[in-house]
Structure 1
Amino acid sequence: MKFMKTTKKSIILVVLDYAGLTTVPPQVTWMLEEHKRLKYIAVHHGYKIETLHRDDLLNDKNVEKFACRKATVKRSQHG
């Protein structure tokens, strides 16, 4: 977060599915409003990458995609 506040470059944030960032859409809106350099959020869905532009997330219902579930995906465990 500190990097996003101090950089002069545009940022693309990459997350593993929507819940990898948050499951609370207002948090996404807050992050985009707070970090003007954050231009895109790229969401990895395992078989494809979805790119969401900040303007689309701030101005329409795309941000509701993040209200997808209550917990993150369980990844493989090292045993």
Structure 2
Amino acid sequence: MWFLVPERQDQAVASLFNKHSYIDSVVNGECTTIGYARKSLSNESKSVRLRLLESMTSILVDPCRCSKIFVTPLCNANSPLLERDLKRSPLTKDVRHAHGDMQDLISYVKTSMRPIRLVVIDYAGLTTSPQDLLTFISSLNLVMFVVVYHGHRFESFSRENLLKDISFKAFAYRKAPIRRSRQLLFHEQL
């Protein structure tokens, strides 16, 4: 077992729980912060699916501070990002805080006048296909950052690093299914 020397403890805590630095970057930054949530195909009822999506959108509102949130109510993590929601789901308009689906997100980014910071809950909240993420980022020139919220910290990937294949491998797989709608419970315990 090891311990950090007192001089390094503050630095370690700041890197593990970086909410304040993230909020500062949102408030003082030049980027528009938008969120994206998706719900996998499963056997939940419509009301349960809606409740889970609303839990995720609530997390994207606070603590993630997203000004607009887009949702895909029925989609697996490995489905192509640019092809999601080509057939519109009526459930999207019922989700509180949602401004549309993936096709609306794409339209919003393509018509934006400001750089975009895209926030998701967990890697699989966006995709589990690194090649698809590369295609998505390449086609949307204004997405400058992809931020992954892990419940206690924010992990930011710059466009430059994603396009250079430096950091997108984190999206390649996941160890176990993450309950993105329950990240708020973890956040509230901190």
User: Aligning the two structures, in what range does the TM-score lie when normalised by the shorter sequence?
Assistant: 0.7 to 0.9
Q: Unpaired runs of 5+ in structure 1?
A: none
Offset of 1:72 from its aligned partner? 5.0
Structure 1 residues 49, 2: closer, same or farther in 2, change over 3 A? same
Counterpart position of 1:63: 168
Kept in 2, the 8 Å contact 1:23–1:70? The answer is no
CA distance in 2, matches of 1:36, 1:64: 20
Aligned length: 76
CA distance in 2, matches of 1:72, 1:62: 21
What is the identity, as a one-letter code, of the residue corresponding to 2:167?
N
Kept in 2, the 8 Å contact 1:28–1:63? The answer is yes
What is the identity, as a one-letter code, of the residue corresponding to 2:115?
S
Q: Unpaired runs of 5+ in structure 2?
A: 1-105, 183-190
Counterpart position of 1:31: 136
Encode CA deviations 1:14-60: one digit per residue, 9 max, x unaligned.
Answer: 00011000000011111111000000001001110011100001103
What is the identity, as a one-letter code, of the residue corresponding to 2:135?
W
Counterpart position of 1:17: 122
CA distance in 2, matches of 1:50, 1:41: 8
Kept in 2, the 8 Å contact 1:19–1:71? The answer is no
More helix by share: 2
DSSP 3-state at the match of 2:167:
helix
- TM-score normalised by L of structure 1: 0.85
More strand by share: 1
Aligned alpha-carbon RMSD (Å)? 1.7
Offset of 1:64 from its aligned partner? 0.8
Determine what percentage of the aligned residue pairs are the same residue.
36
Q: Which has the higher contact order (CA 8 A, sep 6+)?
A: 1
Structure 1 residues 35, 72: closer, same or farther in 2, change over 3 A? farther
Larger radius of gyration: 2
What is the identity, as a one-letter code, of the residue corresponding to 1:46?
G
Offset of 1:71 from its aligned partner? 7.4
Moved more, 46-55 or 61-70: 61-70
DSSP 3-state at the match of 1:39:
strand
